[in-house]
Structure 1
Amino acid sequence: MQKWHPEAPARLDEINDRLLASGVSPCLRHLDAPNASDVDVLRVHTPEYLAYLKEHVPREGYFSIDNEETSMNPHTLRAAYSAAGAGILAIDEIMAGHALNAFCAVRPPGHHAERGRAMGFCFFNNLAIAARYAIEKFKLKRIAVIDFDVHHGNGTEDIFKNDPHIVMCSFFQYPLYPNCGIANVASNMFNTPVPAFTKSDVIRNIVQNKWLPVLEDFKPEMVLISAGFDAHREDEMGQMDLVEKDYEWITKQLMEVAKRHSQGRIISFLEGGYSLSALGRSVTAHIKALASL
């Protein structure tokens, strides 16, 4: 991405700095992600789309995919392969019993990437690639996808609509980019659009009264989270009113579901979150909840 772009390396730097400053980092096991393979990517993306990305990696400068907000530099595609590989590594670690849950601090994010289209800073759908890998390699039959980004996870919905292995629960500000998620919603998608300036009590009510009954009925074998932190009140990408305590609370609710049905197995993927201080604080609260710290 370009230097002015909000989806910047400083996001991961802020997360790492906050984890260190809070004393959380030494309590965690840190792993470097391998690259996903083309086989992994092609479980969710079309061959034509992957070929298009490879053909348009610039030697220098930037290539615009759909606008200046989603563009590739010479290193972007390599970073996208690594971001997707993080989820695959997390699946392997958890299914081998080496970890109970995981947070994938990755960029570029993934939940706007559709089967054949990059958009919204996203190139590969990291969560979807991991989910398909888990279904194929470990024969999981029920995976719950949770998306609490301020923007609708249109790419994940595009990939998983009507998939019997998946239920997806989300809230998102509407109207707001990408201005979808309210029409022709598939039966396995449980979308809750909310207006600008929605406060935490409304979101907690959605989780308790809409998400949790769906998850209890589905009994997921694994929970995957698209963890966007741009619904924070300090983030100018949206106009919602969440704070760190809300992300901690949501995480704990999902952990209880995972304890009952998924042997505690949760993998969380970084999506949005562009106010650096709020992002660092929110991710730290999220990870502390996952690690029971």
Structure 2
Amino acid sequence: MRPSSCFDPAPARAASVEVEAVTWAPGRRAPLVLQATSFALAAGRILGVVGPNGAGKSTLLRVLYRVNRPRSGTVQIGGEDLWAMAPRQAARRVAAVLQEQPTDFGLTVREIVALGRLPHREGLAAAGARDAAVIAAALATMDLARFAMRSFGTLSGGERQRVMVARALAQEPQVLVLDEPTNHMDIRHQLDLLALLRHLDLTIVTSLHDLNLAVEICDDILLMTAGTMTAFGPPAEVLCEAHVSRAFGVIARRDRLERAGRDHLTFHLSNPQDSI
């Protein structure tokens, strides 16, 4: 898979994301899992959400793709309240690629990708020429055209993940939310996918475990710890040694390299017990 420009975008593309004092808990009386979180992401930028396991990354993403309704606060997409939209309207704005891969129910790859067109259908209307063109472009972008008639269940984990990204692209969203998108992928396809993300005319919010990958592809970083936003801003500022050490409970050492005209930061992490 190589970054491709074959995906035919809809007229309305990337939109800003504004999160204002958003909190979430699993019930009215339950303690907050996500503490008040606020940030503003300009249209077309890539935000990496990082932090240790249990930091609240997936919880925040579920708020952004309308699974976790906030207990308080607002999420605006292009200046409009995401949670005030009708579900179909919201699905035209935000698409998600999750860690969990669905049961295929015997569907082919093309049929899975075609599910991304459902928010654009009216009533019982059949798929049209525009739908077919968008589906073909999404398959080509993710290097899946040769798998189009294959059963989804026969694919490897990495191939399935690419199918789910293709389905999200077929949805023609303005904002793409990805929860650990490189899971199940080998190193080559990880790098190819991340390079592709930089060429899409979308606003992207993605959780990542690998800090080096986050530095490589993200315009902004949101660092979380125990359900709380610790820092937000450019990678070089947020992923400083002090922030990383506190958030992950490690000793972090950062190296700065010059790569293709931009800073490339690498981290060397060690257990604090090693220094005792």
Is TM > 0.5 for Structure 1 vs Structure 2? Answer: no
What is the TM-score normalised by the length of structure 2? 0.32
Of the two structures, which has the highest relative contact order with CA contacts closer than 8 Å and spacing of 6 or more? 2
More helix by share: 1
Point out the structure with max Rg over C-alpha: 2
Q: TM-score normalized by structure 1?
A: 0.31
